[in-house]
Structure 1
Amino acid sequence: MGMGEGWKVWANGIAYGLEKGSASVPYALLAHYQKLKLSDTEAMLLIQLLAFRQLEMKDFPAMEEIEQRMGATPSVVASAMRRLMKEGWLSIDEVTDPQGVRAERYNLTGMYHKLSVCLAEDTAAQRQKERNAVEEETEAIEDQQRNLFVVFEKEFARPLSPMECETISGWLDQDGYPDELIRLALKEAVFAGKVHFRYIDRILLEWSRNRVKNAQDVKAYTQRFRGNK
């Protein structure tokens, strides 16, 4: 078969498949069936029942049809069907049409319910994870602030006022100064004998203007500044 003929056969196959239509399968079933402890066979059985209903209008396909479609033995299909019914994934309803003819159909409400619960639990778990991350970050920031307050109180030899605590918080939260940089600015103020917040704030502002961001930058900047004096 030439390349052109092969392409034509492939295209015809695709066209035939598209003519037959497509079945809508809940993404949650494909994504979470293993988490929900379904076997490949059980998940495929549910998918086949969806396909029979949507494309062939068969609400109660014969077991032989299911077995043939899945390429599975009667015992395998029967075992999967029993477990799905036992676990509440599907049930069988008796229905009567307008002419009074009784029939049976597979009811997949249980499947949709289980998938909904699974998605709700996943969403709740994700939100809790996000909340925990926010709480951990908040606790880390609070620990950082508490530690800085202790360092400042030690150097000032007195408790900090509410305004001073707010200033430190502002350096961290609003100005974005690293904890390390604030400690070094305090150290510089002590070295200069000017232990007050206004002087420390001027140091931080000066460092920010000169792109001083860490201890190494501070060392280089200080040496250059003092060397030019």
Structure 2
Amino acid sequence: MEEKELLIEWMDKGMISIPQVLLTHYKELRLTETELVLLLQIFSFKQKGQHFPTFEELSAHMTITASECSILIKKLIQQQMLIIEEGDALGFESYSLKPLWKKLADFMIQESRQSALHQTLSEEKDLYTCFEQEFGRPLSPLECETLSIWIDQDHHDAVIIKAALREAVISGKLNFRYIDRILFEWKKKGIETLDQAREYGQRFRKGQTTPEQVRRSDKAVPFYNWLEQ
């Protein structure tokens, strides 16, 4: 057979698309490599329109016997990785991988939530550090509680709280009451992003500028690079 004909025959047999998440996380689902390949063989047969391959047909594509295939499939059904569905036609049955996809989806959702929680905790820790650096001292229990209220009850984003802290520093009014007022005004005006906060702060300070302040504008302004990161 010529190489061209061989390639055509190979392409004509088709290909299957294997979910990357399955290959990446099958270990977390407590699947062995043999069980994984068996599930992929079932998936391959279904892609070709054969929804209920026999144990002999499955084992022909693996290094295990038909008897071992039977044992593994029963185990996978018990582990809720696989089910056998009955069709409308009398005697028609098919393997379904829906339980496997559901477990993968649940795993990905849980992983995403854990990642988001870890990021939130990291941002909150960084937020406390920023406040202590700017205040030049550890925060008091009451100040820590106020920070928690801004995050948990008022649902202010950590970036917005940092921006309010920056505004307080620039204004020379470094206290929690002033920062709380900034956050209150921003929330009332629908400010939710760092860019919106910067723009509003610039417009506010511009509106508050007096001729005397303009004459003094040649004085150095502190640079707070922690907010620019």
Fold in common (TM above 0.5): yes
Quick one: distance in 2 between partners of 1:128 and 1:149? 25
Q: Give 1:143-222 correspondences, 5 Å limit.
A: 143-147=132-136, 163-165=172-174, 202=219
From 99, 109, 116, give the equivalent of 1:120.
Answer: 109
Distance 1:12 1:129, change over 3 A: farther
**Equivalent residue of 2:136, what SS?**
helix
Unmatched segments (≥5 aa) in structure 2:
140-170, 180-197, 199-217
Q: Which has the higher helix share?
A: 1
Counterpart check, 1:33 vs 2:26: yes
Partner residue in 1 for 2:83? 91
- Residues 80-105 of structure 1 show CA distances to partners (whole Å, capped at 9, x for unaligned) of 212210011111122232xxx32221
What residue in structure 2 maps to residue 82 of structure 1? Answer: 74
Whether 1:52 and 2:45 are equivalent positions in the alignment is yes
**8 Å Cα contact 1:24-1:50 kept in structure 2:** no
Greater radius of gyration (CA): 1
Report how far residue 63 of structure 1 moved: 0.4
**1: distance between equivalents of 2:77 and 2:28?**
18
Number of equivalenced pairs: 154
Kindly state the Cα deviation for residue 149 of structure 1 after the two structures are TM-superposed.
9.0
Give the Cα–Cα distance (whole angstroms) in 1 for the partners of residues 6 and 125 of structure 2: 56
RMSD value, Cα: 3.1
TM-score where L is the length of structure 2: 0.58
Corresponding position: 1:70 with 2:62 = yes
- Structure 1 unpaired stretches of 5+: 151-161, 175-200, 214-229
Q: Percent identity?
A: 24
Q: Deviations along 1:173-206, whole A, 9 cap, x unmatched?
A: x9xxxxxxxxxxxxxxxxxxxxxxxxxx95666x
Q: Residue type of the partner of 1:52?
A: F
- Please state how far the C-alpha of 1:40 moved relative to its aligned partner: 0.6
